[in-house]
Amino acid sequence: MSGAAAMETAKANLDVFSETLLALARKNRNILVVTSDSRGSGKLVPFAQALPGQIVEVGIAEQNLVGIAAGLASAGKIVFAVSPGSFLTARSLEQIKNDVCYSDHPVKLVGISSGVSYGALGSTHHSLHDLAVLRAIPNCTIVVPADNFETAEAVKAAAEMPHPVFLRFGKRPMPPLHRPGTKFTVGKSLLVRRGNDIAFIATGETVVQAAGACDLLAREGISARVLSMHTVKPLDEEAVLQAAQECGAVVTVEEHSCAGGLGEACAAVLLQSGVSVPFRIVGFPDEETVSGSQLDMMAYYGISPEGLAETARTLLNRKRL
């Protein structure tokens, strides 16, 4: 399927999230949604129309959202707490830490429109801190799906998980990245492209950008591996080490601050394992971000096929010197 055709048939991950969740909830009355004024932005209107007794709207009150979700989960309900990622993981961080994670209540925290999905609305609406803060809190699994397949499988897996989980979604239609029959397992990365010259370890909506860079580099005879590191915590350390040992360089890619996210998690694995390889973290720098569309912002900071291909060339050239 061509890139254009794939985009025409692709859905936004949030649409797949809502459809998958509705299908699960129809079969299990214990599945509840708690949302903070996010039925529309979270694609939950069909859920609310179909199962009005299984959704709770708390309004713009993220702290209440998490507290109520934790209480329902403690009573045996399977709770998905849905809110924009920028607010869910900032305004209600204390409730996430204490009511959900320290108490180990199996709430499924769902950060919608995360990263820079709300690009034009400015830094207040950008969620570039969430992976860092949640990585530092125990009992919290972090999953960032890259396409519709990963999203559907992540929602199904989250519904069964006995501990807290954070699902992170953007807004754009996501082209398919995996072949039929691919197995999804929380904590295990997925190989998107094979290659041994350089490895891109990416998560979420940046995986498709890395795949695009892989195509550009292939025209130059450079073989690039692309891994979808959909689970940021617990990290697939084996895949990180294998990529570093088998490839000439490693580039991590994330729609997140370069501080505290996927890149630093991978760097820690490599350093503590004594594996030396040319390495680069591509993400958002430690500064107030520019505003614009999501794709424009990502391209500005080098998270595009062209930008990532140039990063790969630079890294490989330095290795040869």
The pLDDT tens digits for 163-199 are: 999 999 999 999 999 999 999 999 999 999 999 999 9
Are 146 and 202 spatial neighbours (Cβ–Cβ below 8 Å)?
yes
pLDDT of residue 42: 62
C-alpha 300: how far from its chain's center? 20
Mean pLDDT of the chain: 94
Q: 3: Cβ–Cβ under 8 A, 6 or more apart, which residues?
A: 175
Q: 20: Cβ–Cβ under 8 A, 6 or more apart, which residues?
A: 151, 152, 155, 156
Q: Rounded to an integer, what distance in angstroms lies between the CA atom of residue 34 and that of residue 98? A: 18
How does pLDDT run across 209-235, given as a tens digit for each residue? 999 999 999 999 999 999 999 999 999
Q: Rounded to an integer, what distance in angstroms lies between the CA atom of residue 95 and that of residue 70? A: 9
How confident is residue 8, by pLDDT bands cut at 50, 70 and 90?
very low
pLDDT of residue 6: 46
pLDDT of residue 9: 62
% of the chain at pLDDT higher than 70: 95
Compute the average pLDDT of residues 110-128: 93
φ, ψ of residue 200 in degrees (nearest 5):
-100, 120
Domains annotated for the chain, with CATH where assigned, are 3-168 (3.40.50.970), 190-313 (3.40.50.920)
| Per-residue pLDDT at 66 exceeds 60 | yes
How does pLDDT run across 235-268, given as a tens digit for each residue? 999 999 999 999 999 999 999 999 999 999 999 9
Q: Report the greatest alpha carbon distance in the chain.
A: 65
Q: Rounded to an integer, what distance in angstroms lies between the CA atom of residue 187 and that of residue 141? A: 9
Place of tokens 């950060």: 111
pLDDT of residue 7: 46
pLDDT of residue 246: 97
Q: Is 28 exposed, middle or buried (0-12, 13-18, 19+ CB in 10 A)?
A: exposed
